Amino acid sequence: MSIAEDGPNKLPNMSLSIIILAAGQGKRMHSDLPKVLQPLAGKPMLGYVIAAAQALVPEAIYVVYGHGGDVVKAAFSSMPLTWVLQAEQLGTGHAVQQVAPLIPDEHQVLILYGDVPLIREATLRRLVGSATEQTLNLLSVDLPDASGYGRVLRDKAGSVYRIVEQKDANRKELAVSEANTGLMVAPARALKRWVAGLSSANAQHEYYLTDIIGMAAKDGFKVEALKAPTATEVLGVNDKVQLASLEAENRLMRARELMLAGATVLDPTRLDVRGAVTVGRDVVIDVNVVFEGTVVLGDRVRIGAGCVLKDSSIASDTVLNPYSVLDSVEVGMHCILGPFARLRPGSRVLNNAHVGNFVELKNTTLGAGSKANHLTYLGDTVVGERVNVGAGTITCNYDGVNKWPTEIHDDAFIGSGSMLVAPVTIGKNAVIGAGSTITKSAAAHALTLTRAKQQTIADWKPPVKASESEKAERIKGSRKNP
Ligand code: UD1
Ligand code: MG
């Protein structure tokens, strides 16, 4: 039986408990981070599994933890989960033994793996939907190369009678391409009986949960292996190679969602959607772009190559040129940003404003129609409308201890290379002469500048070659009273 996309989408009449196995160390990761916390698209793998479990609205979710326990628990401390310690990792069957006593006999039990992160809610609903008091439903998948996985063994009539682990399989069994995903659903009463009877007499000296398949078949239960609709959603992650290939699969899926929502993605293999992205009509996204957190892009927004956007919104018709980095900012309509713009948290760029190359904004509002086009730092600043901020302008907002604000009023013109030492206010229509260091507020409608007078020294003599002793004498002199 396979799980058709339009198959039954109901939950069983029996109450549902979900067990997530997450105690494994993940030796093959060679990492200090517990396996289930290894990030996929920036979020721990276990988080995906918990979300899929929560979507089924079960009576309870039990997470079996062990290796790196406190770190794993801490990562999900705000969630309504029941944590069950498996002090020693003696196998998947042993892990289920730790939880079994906590589950009421009349529940159905769905078992998920913390290292199978892309499992979809719809697939789980179908797996659980056909469960009865006399069935054991497991999810299998046909793989061109099933190595590493347990193999699903069927008799001549096609009924599943056992699962054999890779390390225990003979040559004929290894040739079977139907792999066990590990995900299964069984009635609690029978599950408890089966896991209590497990033995560790096998190649890995572990208590294999998969041995309960044979027990169920012997008990006359209907053992159904449902085929997963796609391999991607049941791929287990045991090492960094598998993690990278799942990352790649996930990347394609997420890019596909954006394309189906109407975005033009120049290369779906080079777009990383790590959060929730909403796009308007005719958005164009160039290569090597990363989206994190919640990102909202209005109609006709264009994102240049190599941009990184986190928790930001960009209104219609704005162009983000290549290699710009936005974190927690709000950008209006018809703006032009970058290339190489850096917009830091708390910044707002209002309609028709321009932020050019090597310009950094931190906690700054750039008013409508204003421009800061080259090599500038604006921090804790409110810039009014139609202001021109010249190249190399710096707001000196930090005195080493405190942060101070700067205000630049409408239509002001800041000459290039100016230092605005905050707190300071530049009045409406004020003009600041290039190269000024402004320490006091500058009057509206006037030119303010601080500038050393330019001089020319006509009889200036170019330097002459010094002897070694002259050099030594001069250096010695320079070290007196520094
Ligand atoms: C398991 C299955 C195998 C299946 C594969 C699918 C068994 C015996 N084998 O093998 O048939 O094809 O998954 O990915 O079940 N865990 C614990 N406690 C333990 C051991 C493991 O909680 O003592 C957890 C791990 O954290 C992991 C999951 O159980 O989330 C699976 O363990 P893993 O060691 O990866 O099993 P596989 O060798 O992949
Ligand atoms: Mg595994």
Residue 5, pLDDT score: 43
Kindly state the average pLDDT of the residues 27-31.
93
Residue 11, pLDDT score: 56
Of 372, 467, 380, 472, nearest to 423 (Cα)? 380
The Cα 215–Cα 198 span in angstroms is 9
The Cα 330–Cα 311 span in angstroms is 9
Specify whether the CB–CB gap between 139 and 184 falls below 8 A.
Answer: yes
DSSP string, 305-363: TT-EEES-EE-TT-EE-SS-EEESEEE-TT-EE-SSEEE-TTEEE-TT-EEEEEEEEES
Q: What is the pLDDT of residues 103-143, one digit of tens each?
A: 999 999 999 999 999 999 999 999 999 899 999 999 999 99
Total number of residues shown for the chain: 482
Which ligand has the shortest distance to the CA of 225? 1
Reported confidence tier of residue 4, pLDDT bands at 50, 70, 90: very low
Query: Which domains does the chain possess?
Result: 16-234 (3.90.550.10), 240-448 (2.160.10.10)
Atom of ligand 1 nearest to the CA of 21: 22
Query: pLDDT at residue 70 above 90?
Result: no
Residue 482, pLDDT score: 75
Query: pLDDT at residue 382 above 60?
Result: yes
Query: pLDDT at residue 9 above 70?
Result: no
Query: pLDDT at residue 1 above 70?
Result: no
Q: What is the pLDDT of residues 278-296, one digit of tens each?
A: 999 999 999 999 999 999 9
Check if 95 has its Cβ closer than 6 Å to any atom of ligand 1: yes
Kindly state the average pLDDT of the residues 33-56.
96
Q: H or E segment at 383?
A: strand 381-383
Check if 45 has its Cβ closer than 6 Å to any atom of ligand 1: no
| Strand, helix or coil for residue 94 | helix
Query: pLDDT at residue 225 above 50?
Result: yes
Give the pair of three-digit tokens for residue 244.
Answer: 């990278």
Check if 238 has its Cβ closer than 6 Å to any atom of ligand 1: yes
Give the pair of three-digit tokens for residue 34.
Answer: 């517990």
Atom of ligand 1 nearest to the CA of 209: 15
Atom of ligand 1 nearest to the CA of 86: 18
Minimal-distance CA residue to ligand 1 atom 6: 181
**pLDDT more than 90, % of the chain:** 94
From 63, 92, 94, the mutation candidate for ligand 1 (largest count of ligand atoms within 8 A of CB) is 92
**pLDDT more than 70, % of the chain:** 97
What stretches of 22-93 adopt beta strand conformation (E)? Answer: 39-40, 43-44, 60-65, 82-85
Catalytically annotated residues: 374
Q: What is the pLDDT of residues 321-338, one digit of tens each?
A: 999 999 999 999 999 999
Residues 6+ apart with CB under 8 A from 120: 52, 233
Instruction: Please identify every residue whose CB atom is under 5 Å from ligand 2, which is an ion.
Output: 115, 236, 238
Reported confidence tier of residue 6, pLDDT bands at 50, 70, 90: very low
Which ligand has the shortest distance to the CA of 235? 1
Mean pLDDT of the chain: 95
Query: pLDDT at residue 377 above 90?
Result: yes
Q: What is the dihedral of CA 87, 88, 91, 92, to 10 degrees?
A: 10
The Cα 68–Cα 24 span in angstroms is 9
The Cα 239–Cα 245 span in angstroms is 10
Residue 245, pLDDT score: 94
Q: What is the pLDDT of residues 456-473, one digit of tens each?
A: 999 999 999 999 999 999
Residue 12, pLDDT score: 56
| Strand, helix or coil for residue 241 | helix
Reported confidence tier of residue 26, pLDDT bands at 50, 70, 90: confident
Residue 343, pLDDT score: 98
Check if 236 has its Cβ closer than 6 Å to any atom of ligand 1: yes
Residue reference for tokens 């009349």: 106
Question: Phi then psi for 165, rounded to 5 degrees?
Answer: -75, 150
Residue 69, pLDDT score: 82
Q: What is the pTM of this model?
A: 0.88
Of 343, 327, 335, 261, nearest to 294 (Cα)? 327
Q: Does the bond joining 12 to the residue before it have cis omega, within 30 degrees of 0?
A: no
